[in-house]
């Protein structure tokens, strides 16, 4: 499946706020651009699910800010649940996926919208989607804030995409590095020296 229309390519010339300049190389997507795009995604989802209740399932933890803004704009009956997936590996590189939280709600026969912060290699969704299918939902669609297709190793294509981004390590608006930077209101590119100190590179760290 291909992403829904109105997908935007990321790019911004807004300067990095002074307090973040030591760690963040540039602002890739501004707070205003994010807000506008999230509203647009909500409208697309409403049209596709018109007249139906949806079960929104979010992957923890990076989706929290995106999820909160998205569902505030959804004028649909919905239920909300979470699934936890963590990647354990050496240092900052991605390793084996482990489910850290299981679903609480019944998925059978429901319209499911699976929400994630970033689609990178596709390894996470390639594990989560089959797990969801076993539970026999009526339909599953996927929504990601960021899509980084240049790193894809699994044949995964999201149904809704906020922004397509280049091969860079990004933080902010829920995305982290070593559990830092989630609170940035924008999405920025992390300076290489920050993650190289831990022996990683931009392509290896996300791995989602």
Q: Is there a catalytic annotation at residue 120?
A: yes
Which of the following is catalytic: 120, 147, 159, 167? 120
Which string of DSSP letters, residue by residue, matches 88-142? E-STTS--EEEEEE---S--TT-EEEEEEEEESSSHHHHHHHHHHHHT--SEEEE
The residue among 200, 201, 203, 169 whose CA lies nearest residue 187 is 169
Residue 64 C-beta-side C-alpha neighbours within 13 Å: 12
Outline where DSSP puts E strands in the chain: 8-9, 24-29, 54-60, 78-88, 96-101, 111-119, 139-147, 160-164, 170-171, 187-190
Record the tokens describing residue 57, joined without a space. Answer: 């399932």
Give the whole-angstrom CA distance, residue 104 versus residue 160.
24
Cα(48)–Cα(26) distance, integer angstroms: 35
CB burial class (10 A; 0-12, 13-18, 19+) of residue 189?
A: buried
Q: Tell me the catalytic residues.
A: 120
């Amino acid at each position: 499946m291909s992403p829904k229309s109105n997908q935007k390519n990321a790019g911004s010339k807004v300067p990095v706020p002074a307090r973040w300049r030591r760690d963040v190389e540039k602002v890739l997507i501004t707070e205003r651009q994010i807000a506008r795009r999230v509203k647009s995604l909500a409208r697309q989802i409403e049209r596709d699910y018109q007249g139906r209740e949806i079960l929104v399932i979010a992957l923890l933890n990076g989706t929290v800010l995106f999820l909160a803004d998205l569902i505030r704009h959804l004028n649909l009956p919905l239920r909300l649940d979470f699934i936890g997936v963590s990647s354990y590996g050496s240092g900052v590189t991605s390793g084996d996926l482990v489910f850290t939280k299981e679903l609480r709600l019944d998925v059978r026969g429901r319209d499911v919208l699976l929400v994630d912060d970033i689609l990178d290699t596709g390894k996470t969704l390639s594990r989560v989607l089959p797990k969801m299918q076993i539970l026999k939902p009526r339909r599953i669609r996927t929504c990601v804030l960021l899509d980084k297709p240049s790193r894809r190793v699994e044949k995964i294509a999201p149904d809704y995409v906020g922004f397509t981004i280049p091969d860079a390590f990004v933080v902010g608006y829920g995305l982290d590095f070593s559990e830092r930077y989630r609170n940035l209101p924008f999405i920025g590119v992390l300076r290489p020296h920050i993650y190289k100190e831990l022996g990683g590179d931009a392509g290896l760290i996300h791995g989602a």
